[in-house]
Amino acid sequence: MTFDVHQLDTFVLGGAVVTLLAILAVRLSTRAGLPSLLIYLLMGVLLGESVVGIGFEDAQLAHALGFGALAIILAEGGLTTNWRETRPSMRLGLALATIGVTISVGVVAVAAHFVLGLPWELAVLLGAVCSPTDAAAVFSVLRVVPLPRRLTGALEAESGLNDAPTVVLVTLISSGAALEHGLLGMVGIIAFELLVGLLVGLALGFGGAWIMRRAALPSSGLYPIAVLCLAMVAYGASAAIHASGFAAVYVAALVLGNADLPHRLPTRSFVEGLAWIAQIGLFVMLGLLFSPDRIGWSTVGLAIAAGLILTLIARPLSVLVSAVVQPMSLRELSFISWAGLRGAVPIVLTTIPLAAGVEDAERLFDIVFVMVIIYTLLTGPTLPTVARVLRVARRSEPRDLEVEAAPLERVAADLLQVTISPASKMHGVEVGELRLPSGASVSMVIRDGAAMVPERRTVLRHGDELLVVTPRKQREATERRLRQVSSGGRLAQWLGD
């Protein structure tokens, strides 16, 4: 095989142009309230054989690249998730990712077989690939919908954890191993892979955090790369021992993202950018794999019917049963039910039976592809309205402060860089009214690009950046106090948490 440098040049040019167009499309999708995946999928379809003429039919390559992209997206989700906000809702999130997925798979499979007339294998596969929510879609949409933290925490935890059991289930069915092990054996395999994956993720997460706190890397730019590599090591190590790599990478990233590590903000920015690249490449590739010429009215009808079963029966029932472990109000559960966004994950999961050569796998891919597009258009833009109608939206809830820490090793202290958001109630508060813990102080205020040393009577404003020096042992208390003032203003001392 000869290497053609001109083909490489063309590939680089085309890839750069497509990526730039996809990045610019993020603005359009954000203003429209749509997950950006729809635009990326459309770009892939337009680049495919039916329009531009780029041919791509390698299901095995799509399977491998899809899993790699999902691992990066899950790593970004874990690294950017605040454990203190997610922890109160973790029980519900874990229940939705296990009990909820099981109920959803069963309901969709039975309905697809008896109502839609699909053979059992295809019906179970349809239920399995459609049941998990998509981390990229959930994270992107919920960031612009102001919700109570326990709702966003439950939805983010569910989307981060529910890929693991469904990947194992789809793989067992596609390989024919599900019939060999029986129902109990299949449940045991899923539980084993999930549990071992969680343990591997915890071990590498805490071990990696211990190493990173003691590593003196020569450049700050190496810290984000090292943290992401640790998360991906968790994925690869877990997969190597036939455990769940997706569970491992999310848990490891969650531990690393909430550990007391230097340069957290650059790390977050780095993984967010890399996750965007992974999403763009993943969705464009899946669009290339799709052929509009195969779609007939029967496929569209099956996609609509399956989506109705999933959205109106399976999802609400799974949420209702899962809520037994952590009860919530009916309004909150209704919103969680409607916010079960599907995205790339169901489509990527269909590449497993495609790569395994399962009969009618191409038909399954087409049904799921059409269903994802239709119901993403239905649910994504309506989430803000549904949140208001159900009275779960919190318009005035202040956003958390952006807090970045850098170590001051010689004095056992940390330097916190705090940005006051437009919604923060810290606006109008005097520096002296912050009442920070003993030893902590605001050393500098940066306003409109100019730095000044504050006095006790200096009034803080929206957009200010504060440099706060705090003893390391008081770091958590200092951050907690800053967030209290951001939420309650100068009355935070009496309002408490």
Domain 402-495 grouped into CATH 3.40.50.970: no
117 and 291 Cβ atoms separated by less than 8 Å: no
**Helical axes 222-240 vs 264-289, angle rounded to 10°:** 50
Predicted confidence (pLDDT) at residue 409 exceeds the cutoff of 70: no
DSSP designation for 398? P
Q: Residue 414 — pLDDT band, cuts 50, 70, 90?
A: confident
Percentage of residues in the chain with pLDDT exceeding 90?
24
Helix (H) or strand (E) holding 406: strand 402-408
Ranges of each domain in the chain: 5-389, 402-495
347 and 372 Cβ atoms separated by less than 8 Å: yes
Taking the C-alpha atoms of residue 102 and residue 97, their distance in angstroms, rounded to an integer, is: 8
Predicted confidence (pLDDT) at residue 146 exceeds the cutoff of 80: no
Taking the C-alpha atoms of residue 495 and residue 497, their distance in angstroms, rounded to an integer, is: 7
Q: What is the tens place of the pLDDT at every residue in 292-301?
A: 888 888 889 9
Domain at 5-389: CATH code:
1.20.1530.20
Does 402-495 match 5-389 at the fold level? no
Q: What is the tens place of the pLDDT at every residue in 200-212?
A: 999 999 999 988 8
- Bridge partners, residue 470, by sequence: 414
Dihedral of alpha carbons 278, 280, 281, 287, sign: positive
Q: Which residues contact 246 (CB under 8 A, 6 or more apart)?
A: 70, 71, 74, 163, 164, 167, 197, 235
pLDDT, the chain, mean: 83
Lowest mean pLDDT among 4-13, 169-178, 331-340, 353-362: 4-13
Q: Enter the pTM of the model.
A: 0.75
Tokens of residue 107, six digits: 């309901």
Q: What is the tens place of the pLDDT at every residue in 361-396?
A: 889 999 999 998 888 888 877 888 888 888 887 644
151 and 335 Cβ atoms separated by less than 8 Å: yes
DSSP designation for 430? B
User: In Å, how far are 219, 223, 224, 404, 405 from 216, measured between CA atoms?
Assistant: 9, 10, 13, 18, 16
User: In Å, how far are 142, 143, 156 from 139, measured between CA atoms?
Assistant: 6, 6, 7
Amino acid at 174: S
Tokens of residue 366, six digits: 């087409």
